[in-house]
Structure 1
């Protein structure tokens, strides 16, 4: 078999990058099949899929997966929910952890920061932009915010450009040298649900289904938790 025949092509949202990186070696050792994964924000993946890109398996937000199923790109009977993710706040390792437990405390912490980093495209960035409007501090925060188009906001803590970084906790945890303070108050956010499904155009349906079963098994719950996700 060529390497290509012996791998499953996965297009996944960034939030699962840490978990899949940790699982890939064990999965290949057990099944003989490699995970050939490519990671990008859900919105970017939807664009690529609509442009005709094909994979065996896709991992998207639940809304994104439902759209792909509705368009006939993902097999409806294959869809499974894998994990839930909360938006959190991080600081550089060793920095003081601000109080973010309540709406009032979070408001003070954000206003007290020299600069806050958040992303424009991801689910977390959209939620945060709405949240600062709701807290009536959007003008003050955005005047000195570091807003990145895509990628990991915690990199701006390492470069010293921001004091606080906002993103899915699973994405914050992918950067070394930072500490996650905790999630935004739960009443201020709706967790993102990440779901997987097999593409109708996949030439390796059996291998894709095997990987889907593995990703939804109890065995991987500890890895999801370690990488900042709730199984």
Structure 2
């Protein structure tokens, strides 16, 4: 059989074969607590599926604001209560909500600095009073941790002392940056935003008496053009590979 005949047969077979599925751009809108894990998981997910992730990281208030402004997103990942609020607004599909894991608060200091004693409330109080500057998320900026810290400091009777030297930040990533740069001596935010942050040393989780657990979830938006690809991404993040990475970042992952 000549080369022309072989080429003709190959062309006919290609015409009869079903087209390969086009790669999807999966737009993920997530809070900073997920940031380091999602960035690490993006490559393996893209290699496995051929799809491309477009990550937008903001705080909890930013998630609500961006969807209210009709910014494009296929998957939303935020606190479970935030997903419920988006369900009520009609922004995400209620049947797609999936509980990802829980996160608690932690503290960090600049790399090389002495770690504070976080084994109990007394040591934590001492650390806050001794630190010349303390960074946490601005409670007026829409982040969930900031309001909690304001209330916690009031309960501990430390509000006046700490707020006189506070460095308010828009996101957990900014808290970590403030510590790494020396703008703040100690930073407080969700632990996963500190554990992997460059230039800081994770001091540990806050004592249980002053800490809080926040459940986080994911859901598919009502405006996505490819809900199957969006669901596949959530399944990957909550599957074996994703769960292993989340645990490395300090998440409490439930048994699947």
Aligned length: 229
Q: TM-score, normalised by structure 1?
A: 0.94
User: Hey, what does 2:93 align to over in structure 1?
Assistant: 75
2:113 equivalent to 1:91: no
User: Hey, what does 2:160 align to over in structure 1?
Assistant: 139
CA distance, structure 1, for counterparts of residue 57 and residue 183 of structure 2: 25
2:170 equivalent to 1:149: yes
Aligned Cα root-mean-square deviation (Å):
1.6
User: Hey, what does 1:38 align to over in structure 2?
Assistant: 56
User: Hey, what does 1:124 align to over in structure 2?
Assistant: 145
Richer in helix (by share)? 2
CA distance, structure 1, for counterparts of residue 169 and residue 205 of structure 2: 20
User: Hey, what does 2:123 align to over in structure 1?
Assistant: 105
1:60 counterpart SS class: strand
2:192 equivalent to 1:170: yes
User: Hey, what does 2:71 align to over in structure 1?
Assistant: 53
What are the Cα deviations for residues 109-166 of structure 1, in whole angstroms up to 9, with x where unaligned? 1111111111113222221111111110111111111112334212112221221110
Q: Which runs of 5+ in 2 are unaligned?
A: 1-18
User: Hey, what does 2:10 align to over in structure 1?
Assistant: none
2:150 counterpart SS class: helix
2:228 counterpart SS class: helix
Please report how far the alpha carbon of residue 107 of structure 1 lies from its aligned counterpart in structure 2 after TM superposition: 0.9
2:11 equivalent to 1:7: no
CA distance, structure 1, for counterparts of residue 182 and residue 26 of structure 2: 39
1:54 counterpart SS class: coil
Please report how far the alpha carbon of residue 5 of structure 1 lies from its aligned counterpart in structure 2 after TM superposition: 5.5
Q: TM-score, normalised by structure 2?
A: 0.85
Structure 1 stretches of 4+ with a deviation exceeding 4 A read none
2:174 counterpart SS class: coil
